[in-house]
Amino acid sequence: MTTPFDIFYIAKKDLLEFVRDRTRLITFIIMPIFMLIMVGFIFPSQTSIKNINIGIANQDGNTGTKLTSVIANLEVTSGTKAFNIKYYNSVNDIKNAIRSQQVNGGVYIPSNLDKELASGQQATITIVQDQSNPQVSALTTATLQKVIDEFGQSTSAPKIGVMLTKTKAAASQEAITAVLTPIDTTLTGLFPGNTNYFEFVAPGIMCMVVLTAVLTGLGASVSRERESGTLDGILIAPVSRLSIILGKAGAQSIRGLCQGIIVLLLSIIFFGVKLNGNFLLVLLILLLGIFSFVGMGILVSASAAEQETATQLLFMFQFPMLFLSGVFFPIQQMPQIMQYISKVIPLTYAISAMRKVMILGGSLSAVRNDLIILIAFGAVTLLIAVPVFKKMITH
């Protein structure tokens, strides 16, 4: 017979167990704080741009230099520059810089800019877009077009006065256009067409799915076997502790890699995502991304005595990474302090490398630095995790 007292004592028992488990209690308190910080401080609060890296290839000595100075000194607020300028020699140099994400766009100023403006013709300046980041690219392109248009109009003011004094013959349409809009802009990218938002998030989702699978799988596997008692049987078997660790990590890595390939194929088949880079390089990035998180998964599995505790710990790690690593919106639009935090998360570099390869067609050299960071993070966490795991599972 069910009585209120029975319900009360069962609830009391579970609550006491919960309070006595310090790991679960800490994660219980920290999670709402994390969620508040994520929602309150990470989402971009403005639609303007600031400190965006762009490349400029100026082939013109006079007017081009003046325009470069205007772009370099443009401020969104007092003391805050809209752009950080890097200088290149050609459009191809700018494209290579975008491919390796040294810059998020560029401007090519041709050598005949002065000549065409002086002869009353309409000049053309090329804006190179970063197709891996449609949100930032749209803001950057719109800002550059406005700056170039206003700069061109400032050079046409004297010509308007001259045109108004001409009464003998009507000015041609080309002459009027050249005076009203002396500098036109043309857009180009690394590949034909424009990328959509899903092409931006697809690499991030793929990396997130893979790494989440590894973290969750490792934590749940060890804690589940602890609860069921099968871990004791494995420990007394003639198998080294390192073999147990690597075996479990290997199984979860294979599962995560398979999930990543499934996400990639579905994105290509159903959502029109294009793989502009090498498929083998994509697999290498996934493998190194998995390697970078294996150590963290081992640490979580070793520190969590119960599956529920492991789940809470993993969620505490995964939730901030979902926002801070740039899965759904650009890191460049986050507050500066959050950008610094994102740089210590390995998922950030896995996603960055994946976008360079999938969207921009980057080669191994373009993602070399990202891969080195993933390897370094994985090596350090493994060196810490393996002895901790050996110690924890024997207690």
pLDDT in tens, 72-88: 999 877 778 889 999 99
Name the amino acid, one letter, at 45: S
- Distance separating alpha carbons of residues 40 and 44, to the nearest angstrom: 9
167 has pLDDT over 50: no
- Closest by alpha carbon to 356, among 348, 375, 186? 348
- Closest by alpha carbon to 321, among 345, 296, 292? 345
41 has pLDDT over 90: no
Of the ranges 68-72, 117-121, 338-342, 367-371, which one carries the lowest mean pLDDT score? 117-121
| Residue ranges, CATH 3.40.1710.10, the chain | 52-188
- pLDDT value at position 304? 62
CATH number, domain 52-188: 3.40.1710.10
Question: What is the mean predicted confidence (pLDDT) over 150-163?
Answer: 64
Question: What is the mean predicted confidence (pLDDT) over 363-368?
Answer: 90
55 has pLDDT over 90: yes
- Closest by alpha carbon to 139, among 202, 92, 76? 76
Helix ranges (H only) for the chain are 4-20, 22-37, 63-72, 91-99, 113-118, 134-164, 173-180, 197-228, 230-236, 241-271, 279-303, 307-324, 336-342, 346-358, 368-393
Question: What is the mean predicted confidence (pLDDT) over 343-355?
Answer: 91
Q: Which two tokens stand for residue 324?
A: 């801070």
CA–CA distance from 303 to each of 27, 75, 248, 315, 388 (Å)?
13, 49, 16, 14, 9
Of the ranges 46-60, 253-267, 308-322, 369-383, which one carries the lowest mean pLDDT score? 308-322
Quick one: how far is CA 263 from the chain centroid?
18
| Under 8 Å between Cβ of 148 and 113 | no
214 has pLDDT over 90: no
